[in-house]
Structure 1
């Protein structure tokens, strides 16, 4: 069975460089600006996450840019020259147009390397939920599945990855125009924490407004109980991403581990990376798990 292929993603899968290396997952980096200076979204290696979020809290302007077609062409061709096929999974098309750039590169290179396979997949996911999909694909590859089988699997199962988010800081939602200044002011005064999830088209959708951090921490775990495969018998991995909110993320992780005793290992807490964090700001906690099919 052919297993000589590369599993690849964008840096917006928000796992550590060590995790990607250990699991032989290749990645290509987005870009961002901090007060006009451009950086590579390299998983916190150039600018530590603590410095990045501190700069945002101090008013730094952020701007992000996706990987362009020329970058993808150069990146993909390195693997093709080694005689390897490619399965690249992109950040959700509901959040970014990066898949278009990947597909342009794919079309160019398929003419140049007609004997090689290049699959480009829309993850319909983001941050460490997208990362948890990649983790699963690396396990399938290591179990001996070929690129066609792994590609078929991800297309069939990617909507079973659930993404639930909450934020305790509305200021960046106001700054980004997602809520009005009035709503942000009132919400801040009342301690409102919006709870969002990702729909079947890969868009982030507000689901409820919950008053108080403690309540929203419990509510997000209730969502996992409602949707996780096997309910309280959930026996897969669970990841959390946090943006300068490690204490809140730890509370969610403790509740998850207490409520789901059959979890596969401990809950893994990662950072919300600089690309996604540029839009959410600090104060965001996201919970990811395998569950029922996202159909709305």
Structure 2
């Protein structure tokens, strides 16, 4: 076992099995479904289908980040066991959990002066956040120590490309990310906004494109422009979706044809409850290593 413990939150939108395989600890976010507290635990509490059915039926959803106490409870045993901790947080542009993690970090540094605790603001979200965590686990297994991992994460976190589109604007409107008027017009015209995560770690609508097929092709075009190595891109690709696997697989097939040097197959994941409470169903997101963010 490495003396570096890497941890993250369930908003990495990978899977429990994936995180176990790469040896990364996970702290669950929480959400409320019609006032009932639930764990964002990779669909074990509520499957994505059940969650979105409840949302379509009018269920009130609210998300809740990891508390300072949650971080303390998770990290303290690791430090007592003589391990250093590198925690990678969901983007501070999306959630306040980074601040909570930093508060816990400061307390534990005082408690364990001979150990190292680093918290990284990923400036990433969903399976893009997961792509960064996956790479750090690989580098740890290759021999990097906690300080080297921390420096690498800070230097390369903005290399993660996030591009996504949605064919259902209902919950973007409900959450205030798209106005009601724009949502109504978008629905009539079959607008699929193409969005990304810019350098500040927020969410941004970059283009408004008619029809899902055109949105898929535009996301692919952007990968052709931005991927490291261009058409010779040879790293991993993650795609996640909110209850629209066939759309995700359509995009994945396009990526596979256009980038024959991919490292392994395109990996597909569900958008977890925390992110899904804001996107609703119908969102597809593509993640890869790029040269810059737009």
TM over 0.5: yes
Cα pair 1:93 1:99 within 8 Å, conserved:
yes
Q: TM-score, normalised by structure 1?
A: 0.97
Match of 1:65 in 2: 64
Match of 2:150 in 1: 151
| Cα deviation code 1:31-84 (max 9, x no counterpart) | 001111110111111211121112112221110000011111111102111111
Match of 1:162, SS? strand
Q: CA RMSD in A?
A: 1.1
What does residue range 114-133 of structure 1 map to in structure 2 within 5 Å? 114-133=113-132
88-97 vs 52-61, which deviates more? 52-61
Q: Is the 8 A contact 1:242 1:272 kept in 2?
A: yes
1:182 and 1:5 map into 2 onto residues whose CA distance is: 50
1:271 aligns with 2:270: yes
TM-score, normalised via structure 2 length: 0.98
- Whether contact under 8 Å (1:3, 1:147) holds in the other structure is no
2: distance between equivalents of 1:151 and 1:108?
19
Partner of 1:55: 54
Runs of 4+ off more than 6 Å: none
Matching of residues 210-289 of structure 1 within 5 Å: 210-289=209-288
Q: CA deviation at 1:5?
A: 1.3
Count of residue correspondences: 294
Distance in 1 between the 2:89 and 2:226 partners?
24
Q: Distance in 2 between matches of 1:133 and 1:255?
A: 23
For residue 166 of structure 1, what is the aligned residue in structure 2? Answer: 165
Residue 104 of structure 2: SS of its match in structure 1?
Answer: helix
Q: Give the Cα–Cα distance (whole angstroms) in 2 for the partners of residues 178 and 137 of structure 1.
A: 31
1:13 and 2:19 correspond: no
Task: Provide the secondary structure at the position in 2 that maps to 1:27.
Answer: strand
Gaps of 5+ in 1: none
